[in-house]
Amino acid sequence: GQSLEQPSEVTAVEGAIVQINCTYQTSGFYGLSWYQQHDGGAPTFLSYNALDGLEETGRFSSFLSRSDSYGYLLLQELQMKDSASYFCAVRDTYGSSYKLIFGSGTRLLVRP
Amino acid sequence: SAVISQKPSRDICQRGTSLTIQCQVDSQVTMMFWYRQQPGQSLTLIATANQGSEATYESGFVIDKFPISRPNLTFSTLTVSNMSPEDSSIYLCSVEDSRGDTQYFGPGTRLTVL
| pLDDT tens string B16-49 | 999 999 999 999 998 899 999 998 899 999 999 9
B90 touches chain A (CB under 8 A): no
What pLDDT, in 10s, does the model give residues B47-95?
A: 999 888 889 999 899 999 999 999 999 999 999 999 999 999 999 999 9
Rounded Cα distance between B69 and B47, Å, is 11
Alpha-carbon radius of gyration of chain B: 13
The minimal CB distance from B103 to the residues A95, A100, A105 is found for A100
Q: Do A31 and A92 touch, CB atoms closer than 8 A? A: no
pLDDT bucket at A96, cuts 50 / 70 / 90: low
Rounded Cα distance between B67 and B46, Å, is 11
Q: CB-based contacts of A98: which residues, under 8 Å, 6+ apart?
A: A30, A91, A92, B96, B100
Q: CB-based contacts of A43: which residues, under 8 Å, 6+ apart?
A: A35, A36, A37, A87, B43, B92, B103, B105
Pairing of strands A84-94, A32-37: antiparallel
Chain length of chain A: 112
Residue A54, strand partner residues: A63
What pLDDT, in 10s, does the model give residues A9-60?
A: 999 999 999 999 999 998 888 899 999 999 999 999 999 999 999 999 899 9
What single letter denotes the amino acid at residue B114? L
B98 touches chain A (CB under 8 A): no
Nearest to A46 by CA among A31, A30, A61, A63: A61
Q: Which residues of B touch A43 (CB under 8 A)?
A: 43, 92, 103, 105
Q: Do B30 and B50 touch, CB atoms closer than 8 A? A: yes
Rounded to a whole number, what is the distance in Å from the CA of A65 to chain B's nearest CA? 18
Rounded Cα distance between A47 and B100, Å, is 12
What pLDDT, in 10s, does the model give residues B97-107?
A: 877 788 999 99
Rounded Cα distance between A90 and A105, Å, is 13
**Is residue A70 classed exposed, middle or buried when 0-12, 13-18 and 19+ CB atoms within 10 A define those classes?**
middle
